Structure 1
Amino acid sequence: MKWNRFIRQFHRWISILFTLTVISNFVLLGLGLPPGWITYAPLPPLFLLLFSGLYMFVLPYISRGKRQGA
């Protein structure tokens, strides 16, 4: 059960990081052309959100199968 709690907490913190990178991206776009690393900075947190979100999406279906004995 601790693993599920860790994934949820990880997902929350990564979502905050992702939001901050997107906001900084828009702010720097407003100031002029930002460097490439700023433009692509939201992508690593986005991929982490994808994997942790998919895990949390599938988790109820996996636990339901274990309860039914399948």
Structure 2
Amino acid sequence: MMRHHWIRASHRWLGLALTLSVAANFIAMVFGPPPATITYAPLAPLALLIVTGMYLFVRPYLRRSG
């Protein structure tokens, strides 16, 4: 599998992980203040989504210039 296919697939899975971690955060808030592990869980997928998203955004422009 080529690199951009792997990055696109990982971007999709990271989006799913972010969605599930945000949903878990809201569910935990129903039962009181959530622990820090739940509260900060969405930050890791979000940071990776930013990196992969920027790569996917810039990729067509890199292909044209090269």
Give TM class, smaller chain. over 0.9
In the superposition, the TM-score normalised over structure 2's length comes to 0.96
What whole-Å deviation, never above 9, does each CA across 1:12-63 have from its counterpart, x for those lacking one?
Answer: 0111011000000001011111101110000000000000000000001100
Q: Percent identity?
A: 47
Alignment of 1:41 with 2:44, yes or no, is no
Unaligned runs of 5+ in 1: none
Unaligned runs of 5+ in 2: none
- 1:1-70 pair list within 5 angstroms: 2-66=2-66
1:13 aligned counterpart, secondary structure:
helix
CA distance in structure 2 between the partners assigned to 1:36 and 1:10 by the alignment:
25
In the superposition, the TM-score normalised over structure 1's length comes to 0.90
CA distance in structure 1 between the partners assigned to 2:33 and 2:17 by the alignment:
22
Runs of 4+ deviating beyond 6 Å:
none
Question: Alignment length, in residue pairs?
Answer: 66
